[in-house]
């Protein structure tokens, strides 16, 4: 089967939905266990490992459907639209969690994020006490703004750049050239 027989964009929707739903389940289970884990670097790392593993798995399955070979462009499109679909589902789920299910959660997570920033500064030898109160207030506001509706939408917009970079990497991993066609 050749690559034109199946659109990588159409083929990416189902895996993207599955990845998005898995991410939502992971997020909501984590929220119900202890919502403070949502601001943890470990949560992000675990989510990223699962995310990459699923994209590679689904990408290899798609490559098999294409006859075992896939160009870089096709692999990139598949990866990007899979990530995009998953990201949209995650965005909708996060908006629901932060603004309908638990409107107090954004402030809790912003406070945890702010405290983590201060701890990181201290680990690098900088004292948060040496910062002007205005700088600390700006840091606190920036942490809180990430969890607002506008902040989430902006984050998704900037995330599109990260999605493209990740898709480039995954495209390079998933591509496979048919060497029998070389002359």
Render pLDDT for 127-158 as a digit per residue (tens, 0 to 9).
777 777 888 888 889 888 888 999 999 999 99
User: Between 54 and 182, whose confidence is greater?
Assistant: 54
Tokens 């920036």 sit at which residue?
Answer: 142
CA-based nearest residue to 48, from 19, 75, 73, 21: 19
Where do runs of H (alpha helix) occur along the chain?
8-34, 41-65, 72-96, 105-123, 133-145, 149-174
DSSP three-state, residue 176: strand
Give yes or no for residue 3 having a pLDDT over 50. no
Residues 6+ apart with CB under 8 A from 37: 30, 43
Give residue 172's pLDDT: 93
Find the mean pLDDT for residues 60-79.
92
Q: What does the pLDDT look like over 6-50, one tens digit per residue?
A: 788 999 999 999 999 999 999 999 999 999 898 888 898 999 899
């Amino acid at each position: 089967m050749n690559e034109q027989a199946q659109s990588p964009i159409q083929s990416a929707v189902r895996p993207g939905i599955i990845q998005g739903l898995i991410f939502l389940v992971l997020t909501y289970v984590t929220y119900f266990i202890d919502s403070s884990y949502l601001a943890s670097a470990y949560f992000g790392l675990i989510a990223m490992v699962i995310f990459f593993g699923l994209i590679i798995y689904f990408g290899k399955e798609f490559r098999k459907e294409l006859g075992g070979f896939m160009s870089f462009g096709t692999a990139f499109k598949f990866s990007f639209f899979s990530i995009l679909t998953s990201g949209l589902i995650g965005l909708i789920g996060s908006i629901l969690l932060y603004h309908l299910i638990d409107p107090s959660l954004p402030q809790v997570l912003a406070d945890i994020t702010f405290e983590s920033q201060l701890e990181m500064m201290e680990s690098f030898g900088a004292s948060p006490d040496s910062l002007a109160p205005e700088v600390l207030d700006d840091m606190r506001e920036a942490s809180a703004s990430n969890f607002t509706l506008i902040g989430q939408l902006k984050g998704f917009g900037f995330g599109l750049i990260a999605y493209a970079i990740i898709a480039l990497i995954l495209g390079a991993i998933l591509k496979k050239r048919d060497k029998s066609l070389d002359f």
